[in-house]
Amino acid sequence: MTSTDAIEFLRARRSIRKFSNDPLPAGLLREILETATFAPSAHGLQPWRFAQVESNSARSALGQALTNQMRLDMQAENIPETDILSRVERSLRRIAEAPQIILLCRDTEAVRIPTSEEDLMGIQSVAMAGLQLMLAAQAHGLGANWICWPLYAQAETSHALQLPPTWQPQGMIFLGRPAEQPKPKNLKPLQVLSLNF
């Protein structure tokens, strides 16, 4: 791969939200997750943990945990009940239909000294692994989408999925063969200061 190919590859990454039903080859997800673990992490602590949400019952538990909280948050914002229902149904459908779901977690015990800065660096490190995961998926022709919903229901998600107590959900990634071509990206202008004083 030339540097031009590599740059083109990086610039081609897009969020994919529609997937075909094609099953992924055995072992591919494991390879993608292993590649994610090559991401940089603060102090090299590698605080990322992954939960593969596979069975219908695990998906349903996740969906209920996330949409219960979603419903409460939307009710608190006085959003009309019909809008809440359609949002909840859409979310449950996406969780049921995603070919693969990886819940990205931070191990809260991976930090050396639990300060707010160290916690933040742990979260940043998990995000690094998340991007690397999505790029590894792209290298295999898969599409991926980072979903933030677990952040709004961390305790409920942990409880519903019976996660180890130190695994703190940060987000989830839906993965599968792409069944959509995203519209061209509307990039904001690059903002960079050249400081030469």
Ligand X SMILES: Cc1cc2nc3c(=O)[nH]c(=O)nc-3n(C[C@H](O)[C@H](O)[C@H](O)COP(=O)(O)O)c2cc1C
Count other C-beta atoms under 10 Å from residue 74's C-beta. Answer: 18
Cα–Cα distance, 93 to 63 (Å, whole number): 9
132 versus 165: smaller Cβ distance to ligand X: 132
**Would you say 56 or 181 has its CB closer to ligand X?**
181
Task: Tell me the closest approach of the beta carbon of residue 185 to ligand X, in angstroms.
Answer: 5
Residue 98 is a binding residue for ligand X (CB under 6 A)? no
- Cβ proximity to ligand X, 50 vs 149, nearer residue: 149
Nearer to ligand X by Cβ, of 32 and 150: the residue is 150
Taking CB under 6 A as the criterion, the residue among 29, 32, 101, 147 binding ligand X is 147
What are the DSSP calls for 157-186, one per residue?
Answer: HHHHTT--TTEEEEEEEEEE-B---PPPP-
Dump the DSSP string for 96-130: HH-SEEEEEEEETTSSSS--HHHHHHHHHHHHHHH
Q: If binding is defined by CB under 6 A, does position 87 make contact with ligand X?
A: no
Out of 15, 64, 68, 108, point to the residue binding ligand X (CB under 6 A).
Answer: 15
